[in-house]
Every structure is written in C-alpha cells, then in structure tokens.
C-alpha cells in the first residue's frame, strides 16, 4: 500500500452524504468514464491542471495526502460528529480505486468511534470489496444501468462485477442505499424503471435514491479543456421523476428523489 492517496477535496459540514454533519473525503481517480460525469476532475487519479475562473489562472486539482494528515483534518470536527450523530463519508471519483488506503482510513476512524459511510460504484475485485465492507458502517452504491451493454456504453465498463459486488454488499449491509443517476436517453424511461425494480427485487434492495441529471459540471469540461457530450441536454428536476418513483414504490421499493 502506498503511504499517500490522491485526494481532490475534503469537504466539511456536509449534510447530504449520510446522517448528521459529515466530513466528505473525495478520492481522485475512477475506473469508470461516465459521459455525464459532473466531476470530470475526479476521473484521473493524478493531480491535474484546471482553469480557475475566479483567479483567472490554472490551478492544480488534487494532491497526495497521508492518512495522518487526513485524520488530523477529520478530527478537528469530532465534536460536530458526536453532537449530530454524523461522521465521515468516503467518496470520489471512486474510493475503491485506492482501496487499501481507504480500508486503512476506515480502520483508523473505527478506532476513534467515528461513524463511516461510503459512496461507491463497487467496481473493484470482490475480495477487496469484502474487506472494505467489513470496515464501513453505511453503504451508498451507485448502479447506472441494469443492462450490461448499456452500462458499458455509458460508463466504459460492464455491470457484472458491480452486480456481483452488490449481492456481497447486501449480505453484509442489508439496508444499504442504491443510488441511480437518471440520465436522459440512457436510463430515464418508465420501462427502465420497471427493469430496475425487477433487478432490485431480485437482489433484495430495499431503498433507493434517484439523482436527476443536472448540468452543474458543464463548465468544468471547458476548464479542463475536454469535450462534453451532454452540452445540449436539458437537466431533469425532481418533479420529472415522480412516475419513475411511483414505479419503484409500486414494486415495494422505498424511493427518494433528490
């Protein structure tokens, strides 16, 4: 295991990434390449140059941090975690792209009795995922598509490993939450909702969250000098997903729309 991890942000006082007040550690690097990704600066594991439009200059996104340094940052807010039943969430990019470092961090947090959560695609060797699952308290797992070929078209990887790991995750964390980014012309029809619901009932997923496609990442592609495939696609709003949500609920799946 390397002594440092590539991190692109440590966000304090988050209330959207698990219970209570949380610190979110964003790991840089992702094995998927979703064409709608709202954080394109998180995809490459190495620090990279990006235009900063406020400072009118290029700045470096990401740096290498030791676990000691990250823990020091996290522990500054220990009192908030205790008072709000909060904790720390490991996110990305894809946290499992640097799995050994993440597991070490989870162990350190457990020693300090700090609640942990993760936001992951689950795209990693299953034995490593199981080790990770042993050490984390709450799992949010992204599933982008029920169909493996379409999953490949959207993300650059097939979904078999992800679904195998979803089953492993459910065995240890039966109340885990699956999140689906709802992307126009990719997985947004009611037929898609029915097929997702069938999949979730087959696997025993109880709770899901729908994340409507948004355009918050659009400018970042310009700032990174990269092409953006979603340029002319209107964003979705929570009210656009009410029928999708109804399909889930009719199939016995608790469904929250963000």
State the residues that interact with ligand SF4 by CB under 6 A: 30, 32-34, 37, 39, 42-43, 92-94, 121, 155
Rounded to whole angstroms, how far apart are CA atoms 10 and 8?
7
Strand 63-66 relative to strand 4-14, pairing: antiparallel
Residue closer to ligand SF4 (CB basis): 86 or 154: 154
* Burial (CB count within 10 angstroms: exposed 0-12, middle 13-18, buried 19+), residue 197: buried
Strand 115-120 relative to strand 48-52, pairing: unpaired
Rounded to whole angstroms, how far apart are CA atoms 77 and 155?
35
Query: What is the smallest separation between the CB atom of 246 and ligand SF4, expressed in angstroms?
Result: 26
- CA atoms within 13 A of residue 37's CA, in its CB half-sphere: 24
**What 3-state class would DSSP assign to 161?**
helix
Query: What is the smallest separation between the CB atom of 96 and ligand SF4, expressed in angstroms?
Result: 11
Residue closer to ligand SF4 (CB basis): 34 or 197: 34
Query: What is the smallest separation between the CB atom of 121 and ligand SF4, expressed in angstroms?
Result: 5
Query: What is the smallest separation between the CB atom of 17 and ligand SF4, expressed in angstroms?
Result: 14
Residue closer to ligand SF4 (CB basis): 81 or 97: 97
Query: What is the smallest separation between the CB atom of 95 and ligand SF4, expressed in angstroms?
Result: 10
Residue closer to ligand SF4 (CB basis): 86 or 212: 212
Query: What is the smallest separation between the CB atom of 203 and ligand SF4, expressed in angstroms?
Result: 20
Residue closer to ligand SF4 (CB basis): 108 or 144: 144
Contact 122, 166 (CB under 8 A): yes
User: In residues, how long is the chain?
Assistant: 258
Structure-token pair, residue 139 = 């799992």
Handedness of CA 192, 194, 195, 197 (dihedral sign): positive
Query: What is the smallest separation between the CB atom of 25 and ligand SF4, expressed in angstroms?
Result: 14
| DSSP H/E element including 72 | helix 67-75
Residue closer to ligand SF4 (CB basis): 61 or 247: 61
Residue closer to ligand SF4 (CB basis): 86 or 93: 93
**What 3-state class would DSSP assign to 210?**
strand
């Amino acid at each position: 295991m390397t002594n440092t991890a590539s991190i692109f942000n440590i966000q304090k006082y988050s209330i959207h990434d698990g219970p209570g007040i949380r610190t979110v550690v964003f790991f840089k690097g992702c094995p998927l390449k979703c064409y709608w990704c709202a954080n394109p600066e998180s995809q490459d594991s190495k620090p990279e140059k990006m235009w900063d439009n406020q400072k009118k200059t290029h700045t470096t996104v990401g740096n290498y941090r030791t676990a000691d340094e990250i823990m020091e940052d996290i522990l500054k807010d220990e009192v908030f975690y205790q008072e709000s039943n909060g904790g720390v969430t490991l996110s990305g990019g894809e946290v499992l792209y640097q799995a050994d470092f993440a597991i070490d961090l989870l162990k350190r947090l457990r020693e300090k009795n700090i609640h942990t959560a993760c936001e992951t695609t689950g795209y990693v060797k299953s034995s490593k995922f199981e080790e990770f699952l042993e050490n984390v308290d709450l799992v949010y797992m992204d599933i982008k598509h029920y169909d493996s070929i379409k999953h490949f078209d959207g993300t650059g990887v097939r979904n078999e490993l992800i679904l195998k790991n979803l089953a492993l995750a459910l065995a240890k964390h039966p109340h885990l939450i699956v999140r689906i980014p709802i992307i126009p012309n990719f997985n947004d029809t009611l037929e898609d909702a029915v097929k997702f619901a069938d999949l979730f009932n087959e696997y025993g997923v109880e709770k899901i969250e729908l994340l409507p496609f948004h355009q918050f990442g659009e400018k970042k592609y310009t700032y990174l000098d990269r092409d953006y495939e979603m340029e002319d696609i209107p964003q979705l709003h929570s009210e656009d997903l009410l029928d999708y949500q109804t399909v889930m609920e009719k199939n016995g799946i608790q469904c929250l729309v963000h």
